[in-house]
Structure 1
Amino acid sequence: MSLKQGTVILKLEKLDCNEVNKLTQKRALTMVQFQPKTQTKTKVSSLPDGNYRYVTASTPITDAELAQTESLIFLFRKKGNDIIGQLSQANSSNSICISGQVNGNTITGAAVELSEPFDEAILRNCGEDFVVWDVAGSLRVRRGRKEGKKVIYKSAIFDLNGYNRINAGTQFPPASCPF
């Protein structure tokens, strides 16, 4: 039996406390600490100009597999240190356009969330304190204001650490964000 790195840990995270207690009482669970292979990931700021796609899913992954996950997907265009991209969840229509400057794997700038035709975009923050926008906690926003079907955040910080680079795919990133 071969295990992919992190498989055991992922399955343990899905168990509730009672299930973990039962397994450990039966001594059927052996705790193993995996040391991931050390690999140097290229910082986003070091990438050449072009279109890229980063995901929170484990890689390698196909587009069909990705569509079945709850992974976050960041499809973006890089030119110099300028980044314009769309962050969305694979199985959701919820998305936000991010525009800013990259330093290492962190993008600082602004973001605009567009709602679907029958949904209302939710203003998550209009104050000075950052709040988390996404389930992974990688995008923090503040200074928001609602304008019709969109919410504009004048300040956003997006941390791509923990994301994995995959092929750019067949879709193009946005050319600009509709501020």
Structure 2
Amino acid sequence: MSLKKVTVILKLEKLDCNEVNKLTQKRALTMVQFQPKTQTQTKVSSLPDGNYRYVTASTPITDAELAQTESLIFLFRKKGNNIIGQLSQANSSNSICISGQVNGNTITGAAVELSEPFDEAILRNCGEDFVVWDVAGSLRVRRGRKEGKKVVYKSVIFDLNGYNRINAGTQFPPVSCPF
């Protein structure tokens, strides 16, 4: 994590909701997004029920190679159009649990951001306008509220276009999100 990012995070923890929204909207406009090489694949909504793992890294990729990247990883279970999953970065223990319905490659629903053991999750948005949550620009959040060491977002849109499907791996996706 760069010094600039750390400074922004420290400042966000001390701001009220309106100030957080102003800063995160500005940050979303200046964010550098990356477009990994993607494969043409089946839409998430067309997949049979089961457990899946999608990544922003180029594929094919091994678990060992994936662990050395800054790729985002979405590990989820699908039942009908219902999705419950965890979005995390390969080299971080911060994550966000997403629960919602899928249409094509887009999931709409709610999410809970969980922080590392000695950190607190940062409220990125408590207003009505969506702001970008992740470095890839694929998860947009709004209507957040801080509850202890977690942040609950009542409304999220997660776009899996640009993600690549890989094997489900050895970990299981969450059964539910801790709202």
TM range (shorter): 0.7 to 0.9
CA contact (8 A) 1:86 1:97 kept: yes
How far residue 56 of structure 1 moved from its aligned partner, in angstroms, is: 0.2
C-alpha distance in 2 between matches for 1:25 and 1:98: 21
**Residue 86 (structure 2) aligns with:** 86
Following superposition, the deviation at residue 6 of structure 1 comes to 31
Deviates more, 1:18-27 or 1:82-91: 18-27
Q: Is the 8 A contact 1:5 1:34 kept in 2?
A: no
Q: Does structure 2 retain, via aligned residues, the 8 Å contact 1:6–1:34?
A: no
Q: Percent identity?
A: 96
Structure index of larger Rg: 1
CA displacement at 1:50 relative to structure 2: 0.1
**How far off its partner does 1:14 sit?**
33
Q: How many residues align?
A: 179
Q: Which moved more, 1:16-25 or 1:138-147?
A: 16-25
Task: Note closer, same or farther for the CA distance 1:33–1:120 as it changes in structure 2 (3 Å cut).
Answer: closer
Alpha-carbon spacing, 1:7–1:74, altered in 2? closer, same or farther (3 Å): farther
Structure ranking higher in helix proportion:
2
Considering only aligned residues, what root-mean-square deviation do their CA atoms show, in Å?
Answer: 10.9
Q: Which moved more, 1:34-43 or 1:150-159?
A: 34-43
Structure 1 residues 112 and 19: CA distance shift in structure 2, 3 A = closer
Alignment map for 1:131-146 (pairs within 5 Å): 131-146=131-146
Deviation at 1:115, TM superposition (A): 1.4
Deviation at 1:95?
Answer: 0.5
Distance (Å, rounded) in 1 between the aligned partners of 2:27 and 2:141? 45
Specify whether residues 50 and 142 from structure 1 end up closer, same or farther in structure 2 by C-alpha distance, changes over 3 A only: same
* Structure 1 unmatched ranges of 5 or more: none
| Match in the other structure for 2:41 | 41
Structure 1 SS opposite 2:8: helix
In structure 2, the CA distance between the partners of 1:162 and 1:4, relative to structure 1 (3 Å rule), is: farther
Cα distance in 2, alignment partners of residues 24 and 141 from structure 1 = 11
Corresponding residue SS for 1:64: helix
Question: How far apart are 1:141 and its partner, in Å?
Answer: 0.2
Q: Is the 8 A contact 2:33 2:135 kept in 1?
A: no
**C-alpha separation between the residues in 2 aligned to 1:24 and 1:122?**
11
User: Tell me, which stretches of 5 or more residues in structure 2 are unaligned?
Assistant: none
Does the 8 A contact of 1:109 with 1:155 survive in 2?
yes
CA distance, structure 1, for counterparts of residue 129 and residue 178 of structure 2: 24
Structure 1 runs of 4+ aligned residues shifted over 2 Å read 1-40
Give the structure-1-normalised TM-score.
0.79
Q: Is the 8 A contact 2:93 2:116 kept in 1?
A: yes
Do the aligned residues in 1 keep the contact of 2:36 with 2:162 (CA within 8 Å)?
no
| TM norm structure 2 | 0.79
Change (3 A) 1:30 1:122: closer
- Check 1:127–1:52 CA distance in 2 against 1; reply closer, same or farther (3 A cut): same
Offset of residue 116 of structure 1: 1.9
- The verdict on how the C-alpha distance between 1:80 and 1:31 changes in structure 2, with shifts beyond 3 A counting, is closer
CA distance in 2, matches of 1:173, 1:54: 12
Q: Secondary structure in 2 aligned to 1:27? A: helix
C-alpha deviation, 1:117, in angstroms: 2.1
Measured after TM superposition, the shift of residue 131 of structure 1 is 0.4
